[in-house]
Chains A and B, each alone.
Chain A
């Protein structure tokens, strides 16, 4: 079945350092979504990418969708303590089911 792999599982950074999480799908995706979950909270939608090679930015966050629509990345520039949490990618191949990656948990040391 469809699988979405996400790496790394954990990342510890010093405040101000950059952070990147990567997502790879075993199949071509119609779109990919990114969510953030704060510790003890629920996942919250960040963004959706649809087009091949698409790049979107939200302040310090940059999201990319690969040309083959099988991989994606989230890059955070100059992390802050408010960036702490787990970041999930979620891939969709059509229909209304999405497959979530296992998530990357980000720790930021002040």
Chain B
């Protein structure tokens, strides 16, 4: 498995509190992604990063912000958590070297977040 860790692995929080999830990689890959996984929806892209301090929105970015101050770390922040953000969050990385579009994505182990 690629060197990707996510922290925390599990978190229970209350509505209205801020939450930050961390993704850390040791592969020196350029691209990093945050997805959420919900039953019946597969994986939906929240935000992604194509370099240090370079980020862009995905299809479900409302209520989330990200930051990437170092190549190896990509943070996802829920500014004010809501129950609809209860989900499993996966971080993924890719090298960005493919000449045919997206590269293979390597996924972290996931963070299970429950918002009460």
Query: Which A residues fall within an 8 A CB radius of B?
Result: 1, 6, 9, 30-31, 33, 35, 41-45, 48, 50, 88, 90, 92-103
Which residues of chain B (86-109) have a CB below 8 Å from chain A?
A: 90, 92, 94, 96, 100-109
Give the residues in chain A near B45, CB-CB below 8 Å: 97-100
Give the residues in chain B near A103, CB-CB below 8 Å: 42
Instruction: Mark B14-39 against chain A: 1 for CB-CB distance below 8 A, else 0.
Output: 00000000000000000100010000
Contact B59 A1, beta carbon cutoff 8 Å: yes
Q: A46: shortest Cβ distance to chain B, in Å? A: 10
Could you list 8 examples of A-B contacts with CB < 8 Å?
A: A30-B102, A41-B109, A42-B107, A48-B100, A94-B101, A96-B48, A100-B43, A100-B44
Q: Which residue of B lies closest to A46 (CB)?
A: B104
Our pick among B96, B106, B107 for the contact of A96 (Cβ within 8 Å) is B96
Contact A6 B105, beta carbon cutoff 8 Å: no
Our pick among B40, B44, B101, B109 for the contact of A92 (Cβ within 8 Å) is B101
Contact A42 B102, beta carbon cutoff 8 Å: no
Give 7 nearest A-B pairs by CB, closest first.
A30-B101, A102-B42, A92-B102, A100-B43, A42-B107, A92-B101, A100-B42
CA distance A27 to B32 in the complex (A): 24
Contact A97 B42, beta carbon cutoff 8 Å: no
CA distance A79 to B57 in the complex (A): 39
